[in-house]
Chains A and B, each alone.
Chain A
Amino acid sequence: MKFTAKRSRLAEVSTLVGQAVAGKSTKRVYECIRLTASDQGLEIAGTDLELAARYSLTDEIQVKEAGEVVVPAQIFTGVLREIGDETVSLSSSQRKLTLETDGGKFELECEDPEQFPEIPVFPSESTCRMAAADLRALVRKTVFAAGKEAARFVLNGVRVSIEGEALRFVACDGRRLSTLCRPIELSGESAGGERVALVGLKGLQHFDRLAAEVDGAVDLAIADRFVALRTKGAEAVVRVLDGSFPNHHEIIPDEVALEATIPVGRLQSCLRQVAPFTTLESQAVVLTFSSGELRFSAGGGEGRADIRLGIDFEGDEVRIGFNPGFMLDALKNVDGESIRFGFNNSRAAARITDDAGMLYVIMPLIVE
C-alpha cells in the first residue's frame, strides 16, 4: 500500500473514524482503524463493535499502490494532528506503516488485517432521507435529556421512531424528557408501518458529527438490529439497544391549565442568579407565578436568593419547584426568543415548548 494525502484532511477523517474506536480494549486490534487504499481512493474504517464507521476519501489523495493496513487509532491520529507539513506519504510493508513528511519519518507497528472486525455496510434500501440540519437538531435537542448513568438501562438511550412522514427522537432520564419531530422523505418499501429503535448516545453523537460534515441530505436506515446513517462519503452503523422504552405518550401532559410565555434569555439569567444558592439538601429553585410576575427563590442554611421577573401570566399565585440544572439544560437547546412554560400543579409534570417544536417535560421537586 502506498499513497500521498493532504495531511489536514487525512487527520480530520481519521480522527472522526477514530472516535468510533474503543479507547482501551483487551485486544489491541479493537483500538485500531483500518486504511484501505484502492483505485477509488482511501477508505478509513473503525469500530468498537457497537458502532462502526467508515469514511471514503476520494479527492486530495493519490493512491500509488493498493493495499490494506490496520493501525492504532490514537497514535496515528495524534501524529497526523501534530505534524506541520501539508502533505504526507504513507507506505506499508509487512506489518509496518511508514509515514513520511519533509521533516521526518514515523514507523508504526500494525495489526493483522485478518483480525480486524467486520464493518457492516449501509443497507441497500434506505428507509428515509432528511436534511442534515434536521438530523442535527434532533440529536442536539434530545440527547442532553437522556440518562447518563440511569438506574434503568433503557433510559440511557434515545428512542428513534418514524411516525408517518416524520422522524421522532425521545430521550428521558426518568426525571425529564425531551422530544422533537422532523420531516422525512420515506423511500422504497419502508413506506407505512412504524419503525422504532433505541439508540445509544455514542452512536447518535457520531451521526451528528457526520451530519455536520455535509450541507444537503442524509439517508437513514432503521433495521431490526441496527440503525445506519449515510452521508456523502461516510457511513455509520450503530447497534440498537434492547429493552422497551417507557411509553412517552403517557408521560407527556396533553393539556396544561396554566401557561406563560417567558423570554429565554431573561429566564436563563434569573435561574443562573439563584441557582448558586441551592445546596445539596435544598436543591430546588422555587418558581412562584402570580399575575404579571414570576418569582425565583432558592436557598437554605447558607443564604437565600429571591428575584422577580415581569412576565405575561394571569392567574392565582402558584408555586412549583425545579432542579435549576434541568431547566437550564433545556433552555440551552431551545430555539427562538421565548419559550412557553405550561403546568398544572406543583406535583405534576410541567412542559416547555419552543418555536422549533421541541417539547420538554420536567418533573417538579417537592419542597417541604
Chain B
Amino acid sequence: MSAPGPLFLHSCCPRPCRAIRAGSVGPRRIMEGPVIEKNRLKDPLASGARIRVLDPHVANKIAAGEVVERPASVVKELVENALDAHAQHVEVYLEEGGRRLIRVVDDGWGMGAQDLERTFLAHATSKLADVEDLESIATLGFRGEALASIGSIAQARIVSREADSDSGHVVENRGGKLLPVRSAGAAPGTDVSVRNLFFNTPARQKFLRTVRTEFGHVEDLLRRFALAFPEVGFRLTHNGTETLHAPPASDRRERLGALFGKALGDAVLRVDLETGEGKVEAYLAPPSITRPNARDLRFFVNGRFVRDKILHRLVRDVYRDTLHGGRYPVVFLFFDLDPTRIDVNVHPQKTEIRWRDARFLHAAVGPALRRALRNADLATRSAHELDGAGPGATPHTEGIRSAMADFFHRAAQGDDRLGEPGASRFGGPSGSGSGSGSGADRGASDAETGAFDQNPSDGLRPLRIAQFHNSWLVVETESGLAIVDQHALHERMNYDRILKRLTEGGVDSQRLLVPEEVELSAQDQALLVDHQDLLRRCGIEWSPFGPGSIAVEALPAVLPRAKAAELVHDIAGLLRARGGDADIDPRVLFHDVADTMACKASVRFGDRLNDAEARALLEESGALDASFVCPHGRPTVWRIAGTELEKRFGRR
C-alpha cells in the first residue's frame, strides 16, 4: 500500500485488488504503470508531451496478447501459414501441451533468405499488397502480426528452404531479439519451432491451463484444419506419441472417418447445395447421434473455421423436431462463397465472420437441409445394438464399448471435455447417448445403428399387439418384434399432421360460445399482435379485454380439452424464447407450435389403449415418412429381428 497510492485502490476495497496487482506485471503495466508513475513524480508538462509512441518491441508484446493467448493460438498461426504456402503435409510436434515446444513442419513453398529476414517484422505479410485486397481475402492469414507477436514472447526459430533452392536458411528470434539469417541444411518447406512460450511474460504463463487442456485445444484446432483441408495430411505428436493422424484424403467423408471414426463417416448424410451466394457442402449425422454440447457443430467458410450464431441457430432448427432439448446434433457445413460476400476481418482470431446478407441461409440452406434429413429414414434398428452387447461382440466393439463406458463415467462426473485426448482416441463418435448410467450401451449402439437407411421404411405390419404397462406396444410383425413408445409415435404423427396444416394455412379453429378470459401482460399481448398470422393459423382468436388480460374467442379444434390460458401462455413463451423478433421465419415458429400442440393432442404414456386403437395408431404411422423419431428426437420404435431372437437364444 505504499508507493502507487490511491490510484491502485479499488473503490470498495481498502487493499490493492488482486486483478490490478496481477495486471501490473503484464501488458497493463507497460501501458499504464510507467506513465502514471511518471506523472505522479514529475510535472507532466516538464518533460514535454505525455503521449509517446511505443517502441516496436513493446507494441509487438501488446499485439501478442491479442493474437497469442495460448499454445493453440501459435499452432493456429503456424498451420495457417503452412496451408497458405500450399503444404501437402503438416506435422505438429508438441511438448508439454506446447509450453515447452511447438514445432510445425510443412512441405510448402518455403521462404528464401530475404523473406526470412522480414518474417518477424510487424505487419510484414506476403498475403496482402494494398487495401483493396482486404475486400477479397482468400488466404487464411493476412494481418501480418502473427510471427512478430510470437517472436516477442517466445524463442522462435524458422528453418526454411524454397522447393527450387539448393539449400535452406535459418532465422531466430529470442523474445524480440532478432538474430541474423544464416544458411542451414533443410528439407523443402518450412520448419518453425517455438520454445518456452511466454518465457518473458510470466503473468501470461500463469494463465495457461493444464497440459491436458492446452493440448486438447491444439488437438481440436488440428481437427478443424483437417476437416477444412481433406487433401492435406495432418499429424499431431505430443511428447513423442502420435495422437492424431489424418493422411491426405480423397474426400471429406473419408476425412470424417479418419477423424471421428469410420462409423460416423459412413453414417453422415452428404448434401450439396448450389445457391446464388455460393456452394454449400453439408454433412449431417443422423439424429440418433447427438452430443451434450455444440462442439461438433462445425462450420467452415472458405476453408476457415468460424463460430457463427446464425449458422448455429440454423442447424438447431434443422434438427429441432428430431432432437431432445439440450442435445446437439453432429453437423459439418462447408461454405464456398464469393469472398466479397463475407467479412472475415472482424476479430484478430478470425473465427468470426460477418455476412453481407444472411437471408439465403434461411431461404435456401435451412429448408434444403431439413428436407434432406426428413427424406432419410430414421428408424432405430436393434440388430447392431444386440451385436454390440451380445455374444457376437468382437474385440473391436468391446474396445469401443469400454472406451465409451470410461467416457460416460467421466462425463457423469462433470468432466465433459470431449476433445481431450482420451475421449477420442478410439476414433468412434466421442460423445453420444446420454450422460446417464446406461450411456455406455447407448454410446456403443450409436456408433453403429445411427446410419441413415437409404430405403424408406415399409412401416409396421402388425400381426398381434399387446400393450405393456399402458405405455408401450409390443408388436408381432412379419419379420420379428417391435416395441413402440405409444406417446412418442402418436406425437410424431400428430406433429407431422399439425405442422402440415399450419404450413398450408392453419388448423381448424373452434369458436367459443363463451370467450375465455386469460391474464396476459402487455408485453406478451404485443407479441401476439406481432404474430397475429401465426395465432390465426393455430386456430386462436382473441381480443384485448381490459388491462393485462385478453378474451380468447376461438381455440384449435385439435385440442378439445385445451386450457386457453395454458395454450396462450405456451405460445407467448415460444415467441419470447425466439427473442420476440417479428421478422423471424414463420416456419420456425410452426415447428415450435406444432411441437406444443402435438404433445397435448397425443395419447399419453400411461393411457390404456384398446386393440383397435393400438392397431389404428400403428397402421397410420406406417404411412408417414419420418415416423420413427418423435419430435424431441427420441426413438419411437425399436425393432428386433426374429433372427436376433434366435441368436440370443443360441439357436443360430
A174 to B514, CA, bound (A): 5
One of A4-12, A126-134, A200-208, A280-288 at the interface: A280-288
Partner of A281 from the list B507, B511, B513 (CB cut-off 8 Å) is B507
Given A151-B564, A279-B497, A282-B501, A175–B558 Cβ distance below 8 Å? Answer: no
B506 contacts A368, CB within 8 Å?
yes
Partner of B509 from the list A177, A349, A366 (CB cut-off 8 Å) is A366
Set of chain A residues within 8 Å of B537, measured between Cβ atoms: 368
Partner of B557 from the list A177, A300, A349, A365 (CB cut-off 8 Å) is A365
A217 to B512, CA, bound (A): 38
Identify whether the interface residues of B are mostly helix, strand, loop, or mixed.
Answer: mixed
A282 to B557, CA, bound (A): 8
Given A151-B516, A174-B512, A283–B557 Cβ distance below 8 Å? Answer: yes
Set of chain B residues within 8 Å of A281, measured between Cβ atoms: 494, 497-498, 500-501, 507-508, 558
A323 to B509, CA, bound (A): 10
A195 to B41, CA, bound (A): 96
A155 to B515, CA, bound (A): 12
B512 contacts A280, CB within 8 Å?
no
B500 contacts A363, CB within 8 Å?
no
> CB within 8 Å of A: which of B238-291?
none
The proximity string for B residues 527-557 relative to A, scoring 1 for CB distances below 8 Å and 0 otherwise, is 0000000000101010000000000001001
Residue picked from B508, B509, B565, most chain A C-beta under 10 Å: B508
B645 within 8 A of A: no
Set of chain B residues within 8 Å of A175, measured between Cβ atoms: 510-513
B4 within 8 A of A: no
Set of chain A residues within 8 Å of B507, measured between Cβ atoms: 281, 368
B505 within 8 A of A: yes
A361 to B512, CA, bound (A): 11
> Taking CB as reference atom, which chain A residue is nearest B539?
A366
A307 within 8 A of B: no
A251 contacts B513, CB within 8 Å?
yes
B563 within 8 A of A: yes
Tally of B interface residues using CB under 8 Å: 29
B561 within 8 A of A: yes
> CB within 8 Å of B: which of A115-159?
149, 151-152, 155
Partner of B508 from the list A172, A246, A321, A347 (CB cut-off 8 Å) is A321
A283 to B511, CA, bound (A): 13
A361 to B516, CA, bound (A): 17
A149 contacts B561, CB within 8 Å?
yes
A342 within 8 A of B: no
> Taking CB as reference atom, which chain A residue is nearest B517?
A152
B601 within 8 A of A: yes
Set of chain A residues within 8 Å of B505, measured between Cβ atoms: 368
Set of chain B residues within 8 Å of A300, measured between Cβ atoms: 501
B508 contacts A365, CB within 8 Å?
yes
B516 to chain A, nearest CB (A): 7
A230 within 8 A of B: no
A291 to chain B, nearest CB (A): 26
Interface, chain A (partner B; CB < 8 A):
149, 151-152, 155, 172, 174-177, 246, 251, 279-284, 300-301, 321, 323, 347, 349, 361, 363-368
9 nearest CB pairs, A to B: A368-B506, A368-B505, A366-B509, A363-B511, A151-B563, A281-B497, A246-B514, A283-B557, A281-B501
Interface, chain B (partner A; CB < 8 A):
494, 497-498, 500-501, 504-514, 516, 537, 539, 541, 554, 557-558, 561-565, 601
A to B CB contacts below 8 Å, 18 in the list: A151-B516, A174-B514, A246-B513, A246-B514, A251-B513, A281-B494, A281-B497, A281-B500, A283-B557, A301-B500, A361-B513, A363-B513, A365-B508, A368-B501, A368-B504, A368-B505, A368-B506, A368-B508
